[in-house]
Amino acid sequence: MAILQFGDHKIRLPQSRTLRILLGLALVLGGVVGFLPVVGFWMLPLGILVLSIDLHPIRRWRRRAVVKWERRKRRRNSQHPPRDEYYD
C-alpha cells in the first residue's frame, strides 16, 4: 500500500496505480473549481502530491520545490541569530 507522508501526517492511498492517478486527478479538478461550495482550494495541492507518487514529471517538480523551500529556510535561519541571543 502506498503511503503519502508530510510532516507527522500519514495518508494511506490505494495500492492500484490507476486508482491513485484517478484520485489525484479528481482532487486537482476539485481544487480548480474550489470557489464552489463543498470543494475547496485545499484539494489542488493534495491532488498534486498524490499524482507525484506515480507521475515522474510531477514528482520532479515537487522535489525541486522541496529543495528550494529547504534552501530558503536554511538561508533565513543562518541570517538571523538564534532567538536566545535577543534576550542577552
What pLDDT does 85 receive? 54
Read off the C-alpha cell for 15. 495500492
What pLDDT does 82 receive? 62
What pLDDT does 45 receive? 87
15 vs 31: CA distance, rounded Å: 23
Q: One digit per residue, pLDDT tens: the chain, 88 residues?
A: 788 877 788 888 888 989 999 999 999 998 888 888 777 888 888 898 899 888 999 999 989 988 998 999 888 888 766 666 555 5
2 vs 47: CA distance, rounded Å: 15
